Amino acid sequence: MAGRDVYQIGQPTITKPAAANFVAEELFPGRGRRTAYQRIHSRITEAQRKGELPKGQSISADVFFGWAVEQKGWEALRSVTGLPMSISILVKGTSATAQVGSDVSGFLIPADCEELKRHYIAAIHKLEIAEREIILLKKQLADIQAAKKARSMKMSEAGKQGGRGNAK
C-alpha cells in the first residue's frame, strides 16, 4: 500500500498509525494485516485512555516500544534490532528507568547512603521547582484563555450590532 505511515527505526517519535502499521508488519506479515492494524490501533488508543501511554497522535518512540514489548502477544518485538525502548525497573523502595537502543546519560547509584540522600534531596528540589513552574504556566494559560474568551465575546457583540463595535 503506497502512502501509509510506517515507523522508520531511529525516529524519536512515532504516530499511532505508524505504530500500528509497524507492529502489524512485524508481528502479522502477509494476509489479514488490515484486521491486525485495526486491533493494534484500538489497543494503543485504549492504552492512552487508561493512561498507560501519553495521549496524542505522536508518542515518544522509546516510551511506545517500552510499553509494546510488554503487551501479550507482542513479545516478539523484543527481537527487532534497533528499536528504542524505555524499561522501568521497580524494586521495593526505589525505581529506575533504563533506555535501550538510544544513547542516554545518567548517574550510578552510589553505595554511600549519605551520597544517595543528597541525590534524593536534589531530585526532590528539582521536582518542587518544576511543580511551581507548572502552576505558574497553568495560571498564564488561564489568563490567556480568559482574554481570548473576552475578546471573542466583544467581537460577537460587535457583530450583532453591525460592525466593529462603533455602531450604537
pLDDT tens-digit map of 134-159: 999 999 999 999 999 999 998 888 87
Q: Are 33 and 25 in contact (CB under 8 A)?
A: yes
pLDDT tens-digit map of 74-101: 887 777 777 776 655 555 666 555 555 4
Indicate the range of 39-43, 49-53, 118-122, 163-167 predicted with least confidence: 163-167
Q: What is the pLDDT of residue 95?
A: 57
Q: What is the pLDDT of residue 88?
A: 57
Q: Are 26 and 18 in contact (CB under 8 A)?
A: no
Number of H helices, E strands in the chain: 4, 4
Residue 102, judged by CB atoms within 10 A of its CB (0-12, 13-18, 19+), counts as middle
